[in-house]
Structure 1
Amino acid sequence: MWSKFLEAVILSGCLTQLTHAQSLPAPVTSGYSQTDLDRLWQSVEQGGVPVVKANVTRVLEPLANFSVGPEPPRFRPAYLQATTQNIELPKGFLYGVSTAATQVEGAVKEGGRGPSNWDWGCHNNITVCNNEVPDVTVNEYYQYKQDIQRVKAMGVNAFSFSIAWARILPFGHRGSPVSEEGLQFYDNFIDELLKNGIEPVATLFHWDTPLNLMSQYGAFLNNSIVEDFDNYASIAFQRYGKKVKTWFTFNEPHVYCDQYAAYPYNSLYTGGINATTAPYTCVPNLIKAHAVAVQTYRGLISEGKIAKGKIALKHDGQRPIPFDSNSASDREVVERRADIYIGIFSQPIYVDGNYPKRVLDTIPASILRRFTDDEKKIIKGSADFYAIDSYATIVAKTPPNGIEACASNVNDPNWPICQDISDNVSQYSTQSGWAVGAAADPLSPWLADTSQWLRYQLNWLTKTYPTPGGIYISEFGFAEPYEYLRTENYQLAWDERRSNYLLDYLNAALLAIHEDKIDLRGMLIWTPIDNFEWNLATQQKFGLQHVNHSTPGLDRTYKLSFFQVRDFFKQHLVG
């Protein structure tokens, strides 16, 4: 999902260059014994925080006589949806929920899984992850059947999940052993979805890099990642490609590459790479890895080895609105952010194989490697549809020293977008002083209910990055304010602002489809269950279900938002 913590600190100019007390382990490049795997895990625990297991360590079967429980009272008067109550979603519309392996699976050392960057980073500097570790999260590894049963009650027809690279390839790279137990887990998960009439949507990479690849060559700071990612992708395609028909290669590439500016990636810098250049060292390697994997996917389809399906990556960010619509400078900042945040990945794939002109003019080739002509050929067209994690719209304002001075100085704190980030309020307020929408939890200051701008976003994407495969909103969701402070179930379940946000966005999407003729083909809600929200760990809540971490079985409870979304799709979904 969109890096809620990281986006907030980047926009506020507070990206901390955290250091680490422990060294990365020596890489394993041959042998690949259990002793080698144990050594990698020992490096995870060297900071003094051992890996822990869940109380439930066997796969739980679906509950007999399952029910969703008592229905909530009527929440939103029907007249508030009067403009869309008779509108139907297009036939085949993908309606579902979205999760990520690190955030929900748990069982990190089980089934032969290798450690990832998140295992090493959280255990060796636990304050980075809010004094928690992702060892158990919500224990989906063992409780997935019941979780799918609970999601089915919502009436979804799709479930987006990610595959943990290190669960399939514990050592990460080509030529290293493949874990049959890891492969079988996802076979079982996919089969359970299909058994319940839910389409599986798989993401290959949701920010969890095998630790061994970080140690060996710096992961996405090195072009070697292209071959290793392609190898991993090929294994996944061939194993699951007859069952999974919709694939994402990468989740939120801009935010992922931005993470290379901070811990734990700053331990990987070599050859003059620093916090400024590292994100843009990552960018071309990730784009090429995506394109090569897509080439492999299409080749397997043409050879008849897997079923015909569709593939893309999940973009992130938004085209802002100007702080002052009468200011030419503010309007230029809008375009700069759109190009440098979204366009840097989208234009090469959907337009011409190259970066936008603003990117080329601002970021020198010494920082952002240019693509060769041969690379451009495989990158252009390497997506069958457009997908974006569209959470909110922000405001763009000119920096105090102006765009030109900022753009020409790589040491400027606002470079390269050159959007004013000195005043946090200005990022989320209009010139009048009014907020762009109802605010989410203060832990996620970047997020507000900006549903009134969703059609603006979709119209811009349709015009700028046209694709015959249509648009999917691959994630959208909301952090209920101060939910983590609530203690009673009836308080935890009443997530009114999240419910408002979801219904507002869904109704805006209906209008975009029917009034703007946007080819919107699906929406996936983040997320079905409160999970491990990266740096904010379990404190920040985005789920349609609450998890009680004080109970042995991590008991789940439906929230109001679950029922509201269920009823919306009952009314508007066809077939």
Structure 2
Amino acid sequence: MWSALLRTTVLSAVLIPIAYAQISPPDFPPLPVPITSGYTQTDLDQLWQSVEQNGIPVVKANITRVLEPLANFSVGPEPPRFRPAYLQANTSGLRLPEGFLYGVSTAATQVEGAVKEGGRGPSSWDWICHNVPSTCSGETPDVTVNEYYQYKQDIQRVKAMGVNTFSFSIAWPRILPFGSKGSPVSEKGLKFYDDFIDELVKNGIEPVATLFHWDTPINLMSQGGFLNRSIVEDFNNYASIVFQRYGKKVKTWITFNEPLVYCAIYATFPFDATQKGGVNATLSPFICAPNLIEAHATAVQTYRGLVSQGKIAKGKISIKHDGQKPLPFDPDSESDREVADRVADFYLGLFSQPIHVDGNYPQSIEDSFPPSVLRRFTDEEKDIIKGSADFYAIDAYAVTVAKTAPGGLEACISDVNNVYWPVCQDTNPVTQHSRVNGWPIGATADPANTGLSDTTQHMREFLKWLSEKYPSPGGIYITEFGFTEPFEVLLPELYQITWDERRANYLLDYLNEALLAINEDKIDLRGMFIWTPFDNFEWRSATQQKYGLQHVNFSAPGLDRTYKISFFQVRDFFREHLLK
């Protein structure tokens, strides 16, 4: 998942860049020297020493053994109903379709902890949070919620919600500590996910596995990461190992999480340290994008080949998009409507059109960047890329508003030195979350989460647009949606924290809109995963942003979990609306 702080930071840095101006990253400890052969334990130790070179050692959790499920588990006392039933009267008789996947979503870096256990190598986030603490609000993902050791009880707690699906990611450096093709594979890392997946299956929960949720092995990041096309082969090697290990148990796969935000990261400090000569913050995301698309398509080709050879079970595979089609700030303004379309091209189309349509980028993007900047695909590459997704997956938290940049659209598009180029959208947060009439588009989330509002009333409209713009024979899956309760991090008492009314409102309204979209609009929506089952490490916001259906006491030795009312409201929704 993205924290809205991360999304706001990277997208404003990338999609409104200073055109072609070389940006020198600030001084900070050097990235490790790449290891390209040998791959000994001494080499791995050297990578971890680079993580700890700033004097912040990796720490362990208090619990360092796998906890078994509780024998007498109970969800505890039920909360009072806080919302009158008539508010959902328009969906009371509606049902979710047969086979609908409903569940929760997590990501390895954000929940696992145990970063040095089992021979795991360091990722880019391990390195950055230790060496540039301000990047991660002074925290690290060393422990987070310690799912590595507490996953059995966490699955037990999630099962009580009645879900049939758990979406998680596999940490690339836990499988391949050095990341690259030809480097050793960690059997202990593979075994952890064997056990994790088996525990889900044993509890009647379908695993949905994401190959990559931003945890680039630092050994590959020091070689340019996804700015270096050679990473395509490295990723395909990693994907092949994972497919063959878990492909008989996992039937739904995601290659990459939120590619737009991930590629945008390369334009921001301190990730821009991976930029090589001639590459700057304006260019780097558009160098990353074709490499990532090629890596996705190549991995899908490998997956389908393994299926056709009978080596793994037939399932489905896609990529997890992010972005949305914004509302025009002034619906009567032709310019604002055009900017809304342009934002959709840059936010969704950059990855969606090549993969789901024709192998090309949207015309507005091709008109903005020559092939020397944004690599175009050959006809042979297009044949692999287009159709390389069996369904459309999107992390759809909210919609925003698009207003034309100051000075007008045409003037901005024609001027690469314009600070709003190439998208040419006004980046004032006020105009991104309100309309010309002065009213906001929805209730705001936590004030620190400036990129998120409760816009559930617009989700049906967005799903209609999405199903027409990028139709998929495998339907649509909303792979993440969630909300940060305002000021939750500041509340001193547990009873105040667990009454997360604005989050519960968001989730219930969102789920009811989905019911209407399925039953009245005939949208082929086949699954929805809530972010997230418990508070976790939210990237730059660390533990200061709270998305969880469960509160985690990060000060307690056992990292105690406590259900919030949102958990019970979602549980009751699924009980009522699942097809019996």
- Length-normalised TM-score, structure 2: 0.97
Match of 1:498 in 2: 503
Rounded to whole Å, the distance in 1 between the matches of 2:11 and 2:301 is 35
| Alignment match of 1:556 (pick from 551, 561, 576) | 561
Identity of counterpart residues, as a percentage? 72
Shift of 1:367: 1.8
1:469-524 CA deviation, whole Å, 9 max, x = no partner? Answer: 00000000000000000121111100000000000100000000011100000000
| Alignment match of 1:343 (pick from 349, 353, 360) | 349
Tell whether 2:300 aligns with 1:294.
yes
Match of 1:411 in 2: 417
**1:62–1:145 Cα contact (<8 Å) kept:** yes
Shift of 1:3: 4.4
**1:363–1:416 Cα contact (<8 Å) kept:** no
In the TM superposition, 1:28-427 aligns within 5 A as 28-215=35-222, 217-421=223-427, 423-427=428-432
Rounded to whole Å, the distance in 1 between the matches of 2:462 and 2:111 is 30
Amino acid of the residue matched to residue 68 of structure 2?
E
Shift of 1:11: 6.0
Shift of 1:7: 2.2
Say which SS state the counterpart of residue 90 (structure 2) adopts.
coil
Shift of 1:374: 1.1
Say which SS state the counterpart of residue 543 (structure 2) adopts.
coil
**2:3–2:545 Cα contact (<8 Å) kept:** no
Shift of 1:265: 2.1
Amino acid of the residue matched to residue 563 of structure 1?
F
Rounded to whole Å, the distance in 2 between the matches of 1:20 and 1:165 is 28
**1:114–1:171 Cα contact (<8 Å) kept:** yes
1:342-381 CA deviation, whole Å, 9 max, x = no partner? Answer: 0110011111111111111122222211111111110010
Tell whether 2:431 aligns with 1:432.
no
Q: Cα 1:132–1:258, aligned 2, differ >3 Å: closer, same or farther?
A: same
**2:212–2:255 Cα contact (<8 Å) kept:** yes
Rounded to whole Å, the distance in 2 between the matches of 1:264 and 1:288 is 25
| Alignment match of 1:481 (pick from 461, 483, 486) | 486
Rounded to whole Å, the distance in 1 between the matches of 2:262 and 2:422 is 17
**1:330–1:396 Cα contact (<8 Å) kept:** yes
**2:97–2:579 Cα contact (<8 Å) kept:** yes
Following TM superposition, the consecutive aligned residue runs of length 4 or more in structure 1 with deviations greater than 3 angstroms are: 10-18
Unaligned runs of 5+ in 2: 18-22
Shift of 1:404: 2.1
Match of 2:450 in 1: 445
**1:20–1:267 Cα contact (<8 Å) kept:** no
Shift of 1:120: 0.4
Shift of 1:271: 2.9
Match of 2:20 in 1: none
**1:351–1:465 Cα contact (<8 Å) kept:** yes
Rounded to whole Å, the distance in 2 between the matches of 1:286 and 1:255 is 12
Rounded to whole Å, the distance in 1 between the matches of 2:369 and 2:343 is 13
Q: Cα 1:87–1:219, aligned 2, differ >3 Å: closer, same or farther?
A: same
Rounded to whole Å, the distance in 1 between the matches of 2:254 and 2:416 is 32
Shift of 1:236: 0.4
Rounded to whole Å, the distance in 2 between the matches of 1:161 and 1:441 is 25
Amino acid of the residue matched to residue 309 of structure 1?
G
- Length-normalised TM-score, structure 1: 0.98
1:267-289 CA deviation, whole Å, 9 max, x = no partner? Answer: 11113000110011100000000
Rounded to whole Å, the distance in 1 between the matches of 2:498 and 2:113 is 24
Say which SS state the counterpart of residue 96 (structure 1) adopts.
strand
Say which SS state the counterpart of residue 82 (structure 1) adopts.
helix
Unaligned runs of 5+ in 1: none
Rounded to whole Å, the distance in 1 between the matches of 2:27 and 2:433 is 33
**1:11–1:424 Cα contact (<8 Å) kept:** no
Q: Cα 1:242–1:536, aligned 2, differ >3 Å: closer, same or farther?
A: same
Q: Count residues with an aligned counterpart.
A: 573
Q: Cα 1:298–1:384, aligned 2, differ >3 Å: closer, same or farther?
A: same
Shift of 1:17: 7.7
Tell whether 2:540 aligns with 1:517.
no
1:309-330 CA deviation, whole Å, 9 max, x = no partner? Answer: 0000000010000001111100
Say which SS state the counterpart of residue 341 (structure 1) adopts.
helix
Say which SS state the counterpart of residue 159 (structure 1) adopts.
strand
Amino acid of the residue matched to residue 521 of structure 1?
R
Match of 1:507 in 2: 512
Amino acid of the residue matched to residue 514 of structure 2?
A
Match of 1:26 in 2: 33
Rounded to whole Å, the distance in 2 between the matches of 1:446 and 1:4 is 5
1:368-413 CA deviation, whole Å, 9 max, x = no partner? Answer: 1111111111001000000000001100000012222222333322
Match of 2:470 in 1: 465
Say which SS state the counterpart of residue 91 (structure 2) adopts.
coil
Shift of 1:226: 0.5
